[in-house]
Amino acid sequence: MSKISIIIPIYNVEQYLSQCLDSVINQTYKNLEILLINDGSTDNSGKICDNYAKLDNRIRVFHKKNEGVSSARNLGLEKCTGDFIGFVDPDDFIELNMYELLYNEQQKTNADIIWCNYCKISSTGNIIYLGEINNNTFYDLSLKNNKKIFSKNFYYILNMKTYIWNKLFKRKLFYNIRFPLKKTFEDLFIFMSLILQTNTIQFISKTLYYYRQRDTSLCATFNTSKFSLDFIEASIIFGIDYNYFYNSKKELNLYLFNIYRIALKNILFNKHRNKFQIQEKIIIKESRKLLYSNLPFKYKLDIIRRCLNVNLYYKMKINFSTKKLNF
Instruction: Give me the DSSP letters along 89-108.
Output: -TT-EE-TTHHHHHHHHHHH
- Strands 113-122, 127-130: pairing kind: antiparallel
Give the pLDDT confidence score for residue 79 in this predicted structure: 97
Q: What pLDDT, in 10s, does the model give residues 153-185? A: 887 777 778 899 999 999 999 999 999 888 777
In eight-state DSSP terms, residue 121 is E
C-alpha 211/C-alpha 119 separation (Å) is 6
Phi/psi for 77 (5° steps) reads: -65, -35
pLDDT per residue as tens digits for the range 184-233: 778 877 888 888 889 999 999 999 999 998 765 444 444 433 456 677 77
Return the closest-CA partner of residue 242 out of 234, 232, 175, 263.
Answer: 234
Domain range 4-221, CATH class: alpha beta
Q: What is the reported pLDDT for 263? A: 67
Predicted confidence (pLDDT) per residue in 19-62, tens digit: 999 999 999 999 999 999 999 999 999 999 999 999 999 999 99
Q: Mean pLDDT throughout 242-253?
A: 66
Domain ranges of the chain: 4-221, 227-326
| Among 241, 244, 248, residue whose Cα is nearest residue 301 | 241
Residue 78 CA to residue 127 CA, distance in Å, equals 35
* Res 324: pLDDT: 44
Number of residues that this document lists for the chain: 327
Separation of alpha carbons 120 and 128, rounded Å:
5
Tell me the whole-structure pTM to 2 decimals: 0.79
Cβ atoms 267, 305 nearer than 8 A: no
How many beta carbons lie within 10 A of that of residue 318, not counting itself?
18
Measure the CA–CA gap between 303 and 260, rounded to whole angstroms: 11
268 within 8 A of 280, measured Cβ to Cβ? no
Residue 312: pLDDT band (50, 70, 90) is: very low
Higher-confidence position of 272 and 192: 192
**For residue 252, pLDDT beyond 60:** yes
126 vs 313, more confident: 126
Highest mean pLDDT among 54-63, 233-242, 272-281, 288-297: 54-63
Range of weakest confidence among 63-67, 171-175, 234-238:
234-238
Residue-wise pLDDT for 90-106, tens only, equals 999 999 999 999 999 99
Strands 32-39 and 4-10: parallel
